[in-house]
Every structure is written in C-alpha cells, then in structure tokens.
Chain A
Amino acid sequence: QQQVKQSPQSLIVQKGGIPIINCAYENTAFDYFPWYQQFPGKGPALLIAIRPDVSEKKEGRFTISFNKSAKQFSLHIMDSQPGDSATYFCAASMERGSTLGRLYFGRGTQLTVWP
C-alpha cells in the first residue's frame, strides 16, 4: 500500500502565489522527510528535508511544516515563479535499521505557475 499519501495531484497558481503540497504517513518509524523536485526528463533533485525534532524548516523560498502528532507534513513555496513549474515528490525514510536510506515516495504533485 502507499506508505506516503500526497495531495493534490496537480496544482496551478499565479506567479507570486503560495502553492501548498500536503503529505501524510502512517508508519511512526519514519524519521526523515525529504522533498524532491523533478523536471521533465530529469532525475529528482533534493529540495529540502526535515527531521521530526523540528516543526518547521525554511530554505530560501521553500518551507516544510511538520506535524508529528498528525503524521503530516507540507511544502510551501513562497513567491512562486514560472521556473518552479515541476513535479514535486514528498518522501519518507527510516534512519536506522535494515531499511536505512530506503525512500518511500508519494505519487507526486504537478505544479504549474502561470506568469
């Protein structure tokens, strides 16, 4: 079954808007939550990541909000630009045990930012 559920499937915003992508997980053993950005024909590129000891992390225009009790995390893109148009994937992994480093991905969100 899908271990990480991501929504929405697609998102269209105007330039300068703040798209929000949401993810939820069930396995409480997950302790590392990265977001990847993927352009057509390219491999996923790490955007930002968070561990559950903090509730928010900002890097430039990208912010992750993390709610451990709700088992949810989200990506916010401030002042979105047409160049941000891409597919975004959330993922989760465990940083210990035999599956250390194995990433479980959401289905992806296709973001379009109109100029």
Chain B
Amino acid sequence: DAGVTQSPTHLIKTRGQQVTLRCSPISGHKSVSWYQQVLGQGPQFIFQYYEKEERGRGNFPDRFSARQFPNYSSELNVNALLLGDSALYLCASGTGKTGNTIYFGEGSWLTVV
C-alpha cells in the first residue's frame, strides 16, 4: 500500500512568491494535517482537514491556507513568501477518528531566497 505522498520534494522560491504543496493521504484516510518543521525543531501544526472541512488551525498567519479535495488529497498554499518560511513541510494522514494512528509523508523542502 502506498504511504503518504507529497510533492514536490524540493523547491526554491524567491521572497514574495507563492507556493503550492500537494499531499495524497493513505488510502482510506479522511484526515490530512500539515506541519512545518524548521531545522532543529519539532514539527509545528499548521492545519487539519477532515472530510474536506477545516478542523483546526495552528498559530500561522493568513498567508497560509489549505484545502482538501473530494478524493481527500490536500494542498497547502503559502503566499508572499518570507525567508522565515524556509522549512520542511510535512503532511500527515489519519482516519480522523478516535484510536487512529498518524502517519507522515517524506515532506517538501522549501527554500526561500
């Protein structure tokens, strides 16, 4: 079975640009969450979507947005990129129900120059 897949794996953007990251959850999983991991830190929660609706949002500015599609895949968008947005962006997949296990993808490395 395929795990959580993310694309692209690496990308370089210029300050002020916009970026879209994509995630496909494990088959049968209806919950997708996004995390930002800065070098040397633990992942920080950005968004959670369940059944195509936003279930939670972390302490991130409005430049960050996301959505979940009918097939449960998801996109994370970041506008007006800042140097500080350089990080590993992780997608996590789960059933969204009590007792579920959360699995992570390999992440998308974003470098803002």
Residues of chain A having any CB pair with chain B under 8 Å: 6, 34, 36, 42-46, 49, 89, 91, 93, 95-96, 98-108
Contacts and interface: CB of A to CB of B under 8 A. Distances in A.
Interface in B61-113: 88, 90, 92, 94, 96-107
Contacts, number: 66
Interface residues of B, number: 30
Interface of B: 4, 31, 33, 35, 40-45, 48, 50, 55-56, 88, 90, 92, 94, 96-107
A43 B107 contact: yes
A103 B33 CA distance: 9
B98 A96 contact: yes
A89 B43 CA distance: 9
A65 B41 CA distance: 24
A104 B104 contact: no
Contacts of B105: 43
A40 B88 CA distance: 11
A91 B97 CA distance: 18
Interface centre among A34, A95, A103, A108 (most CB of B within 10 A): A103
